[in-house]
Structure 1
Amino acid sequence: MTTYAVGDIQGCYDPLRHLLDELKFDPDHDVLWVAGDMVNRGPKSLATLRYLKSLGNSCIAVLGNHDLHLLAVACGIRKQKGKDTLTEVLEAPDADELLQWLRFRPMLHHDDQRKITMVHAGIPPVWTIDQAIQQARELEQALRSEDHIKWLKKIFKNTKPQPWDDELKLKQRLRLTAAYFTRMRFCNAYGMLDLESKGSIPKNGYAPWFRFSKSPCYQEQIIFGHWAALDGVSGHDNIHAIDTGCVWGKSLTAINVDGFKRTEVYN
């Protein structure tokens, strides 16, 4: 059995199947980890969701910001944006089934045997791996509950980011946890986010989340997507950036999680 982790698919179904063919991926024996952003901006979000769902236990996919956006649009909390390509999913005859499957995906996947953690965007330097797992489970419980629409509204409430504090109220914890796991690129040592910058490093103590000496990235291997501008390069041997911008006409990347050999195909 081989386990592969693939970066942001974003509805690029054809490159995904091409990549899996290159890997000779066999769902009867192999496992596919997906680092979030399964849908949106690409041309075939519906086919992508249907395929990943069909893999059953052979697919472990974490939620990304575009996946949460789809759930919020489906609930009437948000509107589609100009470049969104989600209508096909929303109007599909199996939309409810697919959205239910998506809502029950984890925010974080941790392989204790391999000491590998996969998230969409990152883990803030104020958390240990154990804390990240705990906060992921809290957010997952909210999204899977009967009150999931209420919690999605809280998550997407437009408020100024704040630093992490263990005494935050539940709605504040969930909102910040979702931002860390699905939107984070730059933060400071206290967990304060800069959600505007995507390329150049902001000033005043901000840096990529994995550049702090107390960051969890110094404890074990972390796989993440979300940040196509990195071109798959984090500068750290144990931090594996695998969003290589397929939806922007670049490549879709997969890594073998045992040895971290990379394979990529171009869109």
Structure 2
Amino acid sequence: MMLVKVWNKEIKGNLYAVGDIHGCYNLLMTRLNEIGFDFDNDLLVAVGDLVDRGLQNHECVDLLQEKWFTSVRGNHEDLCIGGLNNESYKRCHLANGGEWFYQANKHRQLHIVNQFLELPVALEIEHKGRKFGFVHGHIEQNDWSEFKESFKEKPTAFRDPSELAMWGRERLDSDNKQYAHVTGVDAVIMGHTVTQKPCKRDNCYYIDTGAVHWGTLTILNLENI
């Protein structure tokens, strides 16, 4: 299990990021066709929460087998992982759209969890001379290198870097003055907190625009930010 991953494959075409999909597979494919996504050369990075609440969760899990698609781990992937053997996680998951997971047979559940365990919590990609970071919910540090290094520290109950990255939301609050431009990276792309349209704080972009709620799925061409 690699918590921080640095992408090492060539991207021949464009680099895109997509907000929380939440089981809306058909919506994703419609949007990709609308923007002329090149399935042979482009790469689409999801910011986590591929599943739950929507109706096409298994199709969204299977996206992880596509060469044009990758993702970081979101809190809903974390709920699947924890819910397999932890009753409190399972109760939380069921209360947040996870019924589909427990309706699957045990073999399928294990297959899904194993795929989610392979997802990094943070992903770094260099493309066309720029460096992009991808995290589901929150980056605590104002320095990308320090953020990556934090995953090497022994987690505590209150300062687990993975928990902060997948579940936190604090940076989006503009009144919280401890957060500023994240150095060492051109842009950080996140989801998790639903906003009516994509929004930006410093060089952090939030792109969960409520696909499962309003049918508005944001896909960013990262050359345009």
TM-score, normalisation: structure 1: 0.68
> What aligned pairs does 1:162-241 form with structure 2 within 5 A after superposition?
170-172=154-156, 176-186=160-170, 207=176, 212=178, 214-216=180-182, 220-229=186-195, 231-236=197-202, 238-241=203-206
Point out the more displaced range, 32-41 or 219-228.
219-228
Secondary structure of 1:244 counterpart: coil
Q: Which residue number corresponds to residue 59 of structure 2?
A: 47
RCO higher in 1 or 2 (8 Å CA, sep ≥ 6)? 2
Match for residue 63 of structure 1?
A: 73
Q: How many residues align?
A: 207
Kindly report which structure 2 residues correspond to 1:63-212, keeping only aligned pairs within 5 A, or say none. 63-77=73-87, 78-81=89-92, 82-90=94-102, 91-92=104-105, 94-112=108-126, 113-125=129-141, 127-136=142-151, 138=152, 170-172=154-156, 176-186=160-170, 207=176, 212=178
Structure 2 runs not aligned, ≥5 long: 1-12
Give how far 1:176 is off: 2.3
Larger Rg: 1
Q: Which amino acid aligns with 1:11?
A: G
Structure 1 residues 84, 132: closer, same or farther in 2, change over 3 A?
same
Alignment partner, residue 41 of structure 2: 29
Cα deviation for residue 129 of structure 1 reads: 0.7
- CA deviations over 1:103-126 (Å, ceiling 9, x no partner): 11011111244221111112113x
Pair 1:67–1:218, CA change in 2 (3 A): same
For 1:182 and 1:218, locate their aligned partners in 2 and report how far apart those are by CA, in whole Å: 21
> CA offsets, 1:11-48, max 9 Å, x none?
11121111111123233211110001111122221121
Q: Give the unaligned 5+ runs of structure 1.
A: 139-165, 188-197, 261-267
Question: Aligned equivalents of 1:119 and 1:235: distance in 2?
Answer: 14
Judge conservation of contact 1:27–1:55 (CA < 8 Å) in 2.
no
Which position in structure 2 is the counterpart of 1:263?
none
Percent identity (aligned): 23
Distance in 1 (CA, whole Å) between partners of 2:112 and 2:192 is 22
Report how far residue 229 of structure 1 moved: 3.1
Q: Is 1:230–1:241's contact at 8 Å kept on the other side of the alignment?
A: no
Root-mean-square deviation (CA, aligned residues, Å) is 2.7
Relative distance call for 1:215 and 1:40 in structure 2 (3 A) is same
> What is the one-letter code of the residue matched to 2:65?
S
Distance 1:216 1:19 in 2: 30
SS in 2 for 1:21: helix
- Alpha-carbon shift at residue 231 of structure 1 (Å): 3.0
- Deviation of 1:214 (Å): 4.7
> If the length of structure 2 is used for normalisation, what is the TM-score?
0.79
The residue matched to 1:172 in structure 2 has which SS? coil
Measure how far apart 1:215 and its partner are: 4.6
